Structure 1
Amino acid sequence: MSLVTDLVEHYQHLIERGELRPENVPTPTPMAAEWDVSVITAKRARSIIIHGVLDQKIKPLSEITDEDWERFLEKVLPPDDNGCTLWDASAPTGYGQFWFGGRMRPAHIVAYTYLVGAVPDGLHLDHVFARGCRSKLCVNVAHLEPVTIAENNKRMWSALRYMASIRVVTELDEG
């Protein structure tokens, strides 16, 4: 992730939790000093935060309604052979994205929040390879587990090493 993204996510998280009012987001110079980044980086982040929060009313995921959930489910495919229920809509980052409350949200986080509850602070959702999950588009909450970013990265590399070790034999190999 970029520094701008880190700043934006941090302040948007505080706003969504009600710990910071949008008009109280620090100006670029104090933000740059607090985060040890350039003023230009802080200015970019603040612009995204302000335009994303003040121009549109951002609602926390905890406010998702049954109607929102029905709209969400319209974008989900039936389970595949691994049990993954895949997002079948916007996915510009490789992860499904769902428009809710004034901005795009990661679809797997929307599903987890609606069905299980908020992702605990400081944790990220892992698409658990050991449970059969093979896709960042999966929104099956049985395939998701809140873990630290370090654990998430460790599992990702382990899954990649495993997948790289599998040799697929084709008809061409046999001939």
Structure 2
Amino acid sequence: MTAEVVEALYNLGRAHALSGNHLYAKALDYALEQELPDPDHFAFNGTFSLSTYYLLCLGTELLLKAAYVASGGNHEDKHLRNAIGHDLKSALEHAHEQGFASAAPRLHDIIDVLNEPYTRHFFRYSSPQTMGLPALPEFVEALVVLEQEVEALLLALKSAQ
């Protein structure tokens, strides 16, 4: 049962993270197609940016929950929803408590910055005028490493069965 939960969390997390990365690339393409003056600024702050960050945060949440469960944490859906919820810091702390240590660059800093806007649903329901956000390429770089680490945990879990 645990491997199935980890695999489901991993697959959904990876899918959301990849979707966010693709949306970011599409935002850059769109800015170039529209001949906007600063494509990088548009991709970071434009029409698609809140959705991009939401998808990347959701991917992070699910990957961290997968790491937590794969490392020995409680796999029950009710526990994952109530004890961790959408709190990225809590997800990372729960995974750390189970012995998971990520080498993803700047992951802690990224989570420190994104935790409040993500848990308060800024990316889904509001369009704040100013909000400090990490650079998208750095976020994606951290997610690539995190995804690989969780995939390795999943493969080890499946081979142990």
What's the TM-score once normalised by structure 2's chain length?
A: 0.26
Higher helix share: 2
Structure label with greater radius of gyration: 1
Q: Which structure dedicates a bigger proportion of its chain to strand?
A: 1
Instruction: Please give the TM-score of this superposition, normalised by the length of structure 1.
Output: 0.24
RCO comparison, higher one (Cα < 8 Å, 6+)? 2
